[in-house]
Amino acid sequence: MKIFNTLTGQKEGFRPLGDEVRMYVCGVTPYSECHIGHAMSYIIFDVARRYLEFRGHKVRYIQNFTDIDDKIIDRAATAGVPPQELAERQIAQYFSCMDALNIRRADAYPRATEEIPKIIEVIQGLIDKGHAYRTEDGSVYFRVKSDPDYGKLSHQDLDALQSGARVEVDAEKEHPLDFALWKAAKPGEPAWDSPWSKGRPGWHIECSAMSLKYLGEQIDIHGGGQDLIFPHHENEIAQSESFTGKEPFVRYWMHNGLLRLGEVKMSKSLGVLVTVHEVLERYTSDAVRLFILSSHYRSPLSFSDEGLEAAERGLERLQQAAGGGRNEDAGGKPPTIDVDAVRQAFIGAMDDDFNTAQAIGTLFDLAREINRARSEGVDVKPAQALLRDLAGVLGLTLAEREISLDAQPFIDLLVQVRTELRKEKQWKLADQVRSGLEELDIILEDTPKGTVWRKGRKQD
């Protein structure tokens, strides 16, 4: 399989360093509700992980929480709560969002405030090797000039980066692009003891330290949004490679495209629909995943009601093919769908830098074949199992909406009555039953094996 590596700018054959794939994805700063941009990024890396496992790899997946930073301190002060309380609350909220989106949990979620000893060890190591220096106030900065290939991830040299970033000259720093590894605390801020001052870690050093502690000196995949390439990931490389003396710190740098909100024609309702919570009130998590995965992960994605509604309709087709006709026995004729060929087509798409859009195309082709075969009385069970299996690699549950257990026998009864009415050519009454059920979002389908019903997807 091939993965596009931001560092080299090309697709490269994937071979993990050891017997398990070591994967690190930058986590959130828990100061506000998770929004749909988070959903996009974490769904993409969730699928990368699921697919690697599907291909037989063992994956160790680590994601951090930046549970102390300026935004948390500001928000907590506004809300009148301690910063840690705010972070704790938002972390709980983060997990509930990600669980609802069927994003599998990481193997560990290290938090900045709980990894201070490791962070101090790495900073001290960088100072000892001449890669970092302490300033008068007790802060510590990374010395970008000490790293000859600084800028290699964003493919720019120091001068270009400096003019691009428009960094302010700071008398304390040797070079404008030098960045804080340790920030001396201002009065009233949360602070930890260190050899340099009471203070807290900078953002970038956290990921280097955690990656080192939880995954080792060199890892296979590091992921994040394209907005993290510079300065965050550039700085992670500088810190990690300067500290360990080993290159590369990361074999494959994966970056997802960014979400576009607001710039395209967007319905009024969607204009305010930004948080995951709000999106999930109106759309199923399967539909959100299908919508996001229908574009290539490196492309920007424009969020729209139309796109999500189309995803709901597409999902319905997949669900129907995978599970529809559950009241019906398998057809008598032997299976005709070449499941191996479908599986290979899916793998071919995903092996090409996780081309989920094309992979989803193979699922729809399969769904069409299932429907055709079923109408011809062919056994579609193996094909349905494959469809559910491959959908699962994309994290799609294909779960049908919950039907109240109490309602089920009554629906069955009405379906039976309608069948009897049809036998007696009471078409008008039979149609009345069908349309009545349809209004209640119960869809009937007449098949050669009899009438089956399913719950529709009407939003109510």
Can you give the binding site for Zn ion, defined by CB under 5 A? Answer: 26, 207
Nearer to Zn ion, 177 or 207 (CB): 207
Nearer to Zn ion, 207 or 254 (CB): 207
Nearer to Zn ion, 40 or 207 (CB): 207
Residue tagged 């220096």 (tokens): 133
334 cis-preceded (ω within 30 degrees of 0): no
With beta carbons less than 8 A apart as the criterion, state whether 185 and 197 touch: yes
Least distance in Å: CB of 232 to Zn ion? Answer: 6
132 vs 193: CA distance, rounded Å: 18
Least distance in Å: CB of 115 to Zn ion? Answer: 13
Least distance in Å: CB of 245 to Zn ion? Answer: 21
Cα 333 to chain center, whole Å?
41
Least distance in Å: CB of 73 to Zn ion? Answer: 19
Nearer to Zn ion, 225 or 331 (CB): 225
79 vs 73: CA distance, rounded Å: 10
Nearer to Zn ion, 26 or 68 (CB): 26
Least distance in Å: CB of 162 to Zn ion? Answer: 22
With beta carbons less than 8 A apart as the criterion, state whether 78 and 68 touch: no
Least distance in Å: CB of 198 to Zn ion? Answer: 24
Least distance in Å: CB of 64 to Zn ion? Answer: 7
Least distance in Å: CB of 158 to Zn ion? Answer: 21
Q: Going by DSSP bridges, is the β-strand pair 450-455/442-447 parallel, antiparallel, or unpaired?
A: antiparallel
With beta carbons less than 8 A apart as the criterion, state whether 301 and 292 touch: yes
Least distance in Å: CB of 26 to Zn ion? Answer: 3
Nearer to Zn ion, 147 or 206 (CB): 206
Nearer to Zn ion, 26 or 127 (CB): 26
Phi, psi of 274 (to 5 degrees): -120, -40
Nearer to Zn ion, 26 or 259 (CB): 26
DSSP of 3-45, one letter per residue?
EEETTTTEEEE---SSSEEEEEE-----SS--BHHHHHHHHHH
Nearer to Zn ion, 207 or 209 (CB): 207
Query: Which letter does DSSP use for residue 229 in this model?
Result: I
400 vs 410: CA distance, rounded Å: 19
Query: Which letter does DSSP use for residue 266 in this model?
Result: -
84 vs 76: CA distance, rounded Å: 8
Residue tagged 């900073």 (tokens): 123
Taking alpha carbons only, the member of 226, 242, 255, 58 closest to residue 149 is 242
What sign for the dihedral angle of Cα 287, 292, 296, 300?
positive
